[in-house]
Amino acid sequence: MIPLITSIFAVTLRAGTSLVYATVGEIYTENSGILNLGVEGMMMMSAVTGFATAFYTESVWLGFLVGMLVGGLLGALHAFLSVTMRANQVVSGLSITLFGTGLASFLGQRIGPAANNFNLAGLTGPRLTAQPIAGLVNIPILGAMFSQDFLTYAAYIFVPLAWYYLYKTRNGLNLRAVGENPITSVAMGIDVVKTRYIYTIVGGMLVGLGGAHLSLSYTPGWTENLTGGRGWIVIALVIFAMWNPARAVLGAILFGGINAIQFRLQAIGTTIPSSFLNMLPYLMTVIILVLMTIWESFKKRVGAPAALAVPYMREDK
């Protein structure tokens, strides 16, 4: 029983890693008052470009770098549309998702090697391999934490730092001020436009890192529709985490766990049709959203930044 739990927990952490980075990224973006619904498209683009880079350069790290850059670029596009051009943030984010999924699918069938009919799907490239830490791996259950790849280990440090930065530093305070009340933060001497640009781009880079982790470590490789709605689950996880990076871990473990149990059940061959097993994460998201909403209204507290998705217009004052 213990080895079984340990192995499920290990898969949970592996599946949860991309979710953690992307969720923390989106938490930063949303704390600045920008809602980015483009996560799904950004993860897809980072996954395909990251994999292609790693495949051609044979460097997994260059793959992650390009994935992050692509995520940051799409974040910058969202910032340009929603901050500078004051576009509706919901529509702008949706556009990025639609464009990103379309372009990723196009690139996946176009930029592969001629030998593979220009396809990226079905290729094996370099991947980030697990580096078990000798000794610690053998601890029952918790040993699962030490049989992971580098980015999962990095997440153990990254999440506390992300929490500390947001709640305990001057920059973090300024960031939250912009998301809560842009007009007041101007009076505090904060550049609202600059802040929103920075954190939408930084958030995009983290989302990109999460996307690249899918094609360079978790899956690994590129397949059509690789993310399978993970980007949307990330947006739900931000609500679940109540915009707090520390709580993003819980959500990532929960959804990583659903993935892990799904695989386990499929592996042992249950009588439940796989379609129903695959519905689990999506149904779970709806249930969690409903519960969170009821809980928030019951507690009379809203976790969302007050100015989330509200365009800031200096001239309209």
22 versus 144: smaller Cβ distance to other proteins: 22
HSE toward the beta carbon, residue 3, CA cutoff 13 A: 0
Chain residues 272-291 in contact with other proteins, contact rule CB under 8 A = 273, 275-276, 278-279, 282-283, 285-286, 289-290
x/- letters, 166..185, toward other proteins (CB under 8 A): --------------------
Chain residues 296-315 in contact with other proteins, contact rule CB under 8 A = 297, 315
Is 197 a residue that touches other proteins (CB under 8 A)?
Answer: no
135 versus 315: smaller Cβ distance to other proteins: 315
Chain residues 218-257 in contact with other proteins, contact rule CB under 8 A = 229, 232, 235-236, 239
- Give least dist CB 32 to other proteins, A: 19
Is 105 a residue that touches other proteins (CB under 8 A)?
Answer: yes
- Give least dist CB 34 to other proteins, A: 14
Distance CA(134)–CA(146), nearest Å, equals 8
Is 107 a residue that touches other proteins (CB under 8 A)?
Answer: yes
Is 87 a residue that touches other proteins (CB under 8 A)?
Answer: yes
Residues listed for the chain: 317
Is 269 a residue that touches other proteins (CB under 8 A)?
Answer: no
Which residues lie near other proteins (CB under 8 A)? 37, 77, 80-81, 85-88, 90-92, 94-95, 98-103, 105-111, 229, 232, 235-236, 239, 273, 275-276, 278-279, 282-283, 285-286, 289-290, 293-294, 297, 315-316
